[in-house]
Amino acid sequence: MALLPILEFPDPRLRTKAAPVDAAEVTTPVFQQLLDDMFQTMYEAPGIGLAASQVDVHKRFMVIDTSEERNTPMVFINPQIVSASEGGRVYQEGCLSVPGIYADVTRADSIVVRFIDRDGKQQELVADDLLATCIQHEMDHLDGKLFIDYLSPLKREMVRKKLAKQRKHVA
């Protein structure tokens, strides 16, 4: 397994809309290895979700594990939200591509998502609370959207400046 580099805002590649994964590709050793590498990268970061777009692979899939024990890895390939609850819930979100920044984002509290799993099988899952938020967050990445896009332009500019300042201190 290998750690993959995570793209960070404002990298323009994060704005790329991901293409669907070919069903025949899912069970190949190369694709399965990429999934393993993404899980390792996500766990090391540490995070609870990672979209392929964040590691510069612009295909529609993501890995998620919201368990405290990190023992419930989930793979969502070509995910589609089939339905979403009317009521929203506010979560303070963070993102591996926007390190050190957290903001309140309102998303559907419960969703039904249809996807292909790691074994190439079509699945449908009812998700709520943190898992629903995480799925929606990672699906945004696949559409070239970041959680900070839900913020006002002024707050988004403050985030950009804060990250630029952090990078200067690291360099």
- The dihedral through the CA atoms of 62, 24, 144, 117 has a sign that is negative
Confirm or deny that 95 is annotated as ligand binding: yes
- Round to whole Å and give the CA distance between 133 and 110: 8
68 is annotated as an active-site residue: no
Long-range contacts made by residues 55-58, C-beta under 8 angstroms, separation at least 24? 55/4, 55/5, 55/6, 55/7, 56/5, 56/7, 56/13, 58/13, 58/16, 58/17, 58/18, 58/19
Confirm or deny that 58 is annotated as ligand binding: no
Of 8, 44, 68, 138, the active-site residue reads 138
- Round to whole Å and give the CA distance between 3 and 5: 7
Tokens representing residue 162 in the block: 């804060």
Where does 24-97 have alpha helices with state H?
A: 29-44
Burial class (CB in 10 A: 0-12, 13-18, 19+), 50: buried
Tokens representing residue 103 in the block: 């903001």
State the binding site: 95, 137, 141
Residues labelled catalytic: 138
State the binding site for Fe cation: 95, 137, 141
